[in-house]
Amino acid sequence: MRSLIKLKGNGIPRTIKSNVIQSPLAGVTDNIFRKLVRRWSSDSLLFTEMVNATSLKLGHGNEKINQISCEDGPVGVQIFDNRPFAVAEAARESESAGAFLIDINMGCPVKKIAKKGGGSALINDPELAVDLVKRISKAVKIPVTVKTRIGWSKYDQSIKDFMLKLQDAGANMLTIHGRTREQGFSGKADWQIIGELKELLEIPVIANGDIRNGEDAKECLRITKADGVMIGRGLLGAPWIVGEIEASINGDKTFKRPTFIDKLMLINEHLESLLEEKGDHGLLIARKHISWTCKDFPKANSLRKKLIRTNCPKEVKELILKAISDLNN
């Protein structure tokens, strides 16, 4: 039987019907990418890229949340900012746009964001972090969740207190990336520590960090006893991975990993959607996805090099179609 994650909310409770969640990835998890992830996973909770409350107010970030109204399945909006009033307003706007829940980013290590007091800097400012959760919980009826890390520079009692305070303030779920802010993405995510924090908390806990496949997910769930797992970098070039991990956890043997040809068709489809929505600029965005997906099949390396060097969208498409036809023969 599939695990359900039940979130209390602030009037509107929510149930997540999958325990594998797509992480917010800035520059990656836009509406076009999420549509691909959704193809392999009808129930998973997907996240927008992090959205800044100010950019929402100024109208720059709106397309990031307006698109969720026409998507199938649950999509959470992740907001980063450190001004409670602005975040509460952005949360209300996201709720009206159809957000399944609101997540507050308290883990981003990027200096530009932390310097302004947002993302991981909130770990060092529990009072403000608590205020943010309280104000947003008052502003919306849907659940309010937090994504954070196991500490600023080390794991100690202060992060336990921090998480308990967030829970008391009304956070309905915590996603914990098993690294400190100082670690950034180095070292290994500490699932043991996530397990200790899970034991401490009453609200659902999602474990995050270094989960790349079904075996990792099962091992992480065994160690942490978390309510679910969140997949980040494993998604780069592999929008099917959430569905693949779900199938593995649920013992579903019918899942079919995309073949080489499927991958090329996916690259082509992704490129077409980007060109349609963003014009020629879509090719620049497509390049990074192409470089992540175009690997692990015959002649993938030389094809990748050609694809990312070609400036004409039509030529890129022709190269992809030729490669599909070569693989078919």
Interface with ligand FMN by CB under 6 A: which residues?
A: 23-28, 49-50, 78, 105, 107-108, 147, 177, 208-211, 231-234
Rank residues 122 and 266 by Cβ distance to ligand FMN and give the closer one.
122
State how far the Cα of 265 lies from the Cα of 270, in Å rounded to an integer: 9
- The minimum distance between CB 10 and ligand FMN, in angstroms, equals 22
Q: Indicate the SS3 state at residue 168.
A: helix
- The minimum distance between CB 207 and ligand FMN, in angstroms, equals 10
> What residues contact residue 321 under an 8 Å CB cut-off, 6+ apart?
268
Rank residues 151 and 209 by Cβ distance to ligand FMN and give the closer one.
209
Rank residues 204 and 323 by Cβ distance to ligand FMN and give the closer one.
204
- The minimum distance between CB 78 and ligand FMN, in angstroms, equals 6
> What residues contact residue 327 under an 8 Å CB cut-off, 6+ apart?
260, 261, 264, 297, 298
> For this structure, is 108 an active site residue?
yes
> Do 47 and 24 meet the contact criterion of CB atoms below 8 Å apart?
yes
Tell me the backbone φ, ψ of residue 146, rounded to 5 degrees: -130, 140
- The minimum distance between CB 208 and ligand FMN, in angstroms, equals 5
Give the number of C-alpha atoms closer than 13 A to the C-alpha of residue 61, restricted to the C-beta side.
Answer: 25
Q: Indicate the SS3 state at residue 6.
A: strand
Q: In sequence order, which ranges of 41-110 are alpha helices (DSSP H)?
A: 53-57, 62-66, 84-97
- The minimum distance between CB 103 and ligand FMN, in angstroms, equals 8
Tell me how far the alpha carbon of residue 171 is from its chain's centroid: 18
Rank residues 52 and 167 by Cβ distance to ligand FMN and give the closer one.
52
Q: Which residue is nearest to ligand FMN (CB)?
A: 232
Question: 104 has which bridge partners?
Answer: 79, 146
State how far the Cα of 33 lies from the Cα of 240, in Å rounded to an integer: 11
> Do 215 and 248 meet the contact criterion of CB atoms below 8 Å apart?
yes
Rank residues 205 and 231 by Cβ distance to ligand FMN and give the closer one.
231
Q: Which residues are catalytic?
A: 108
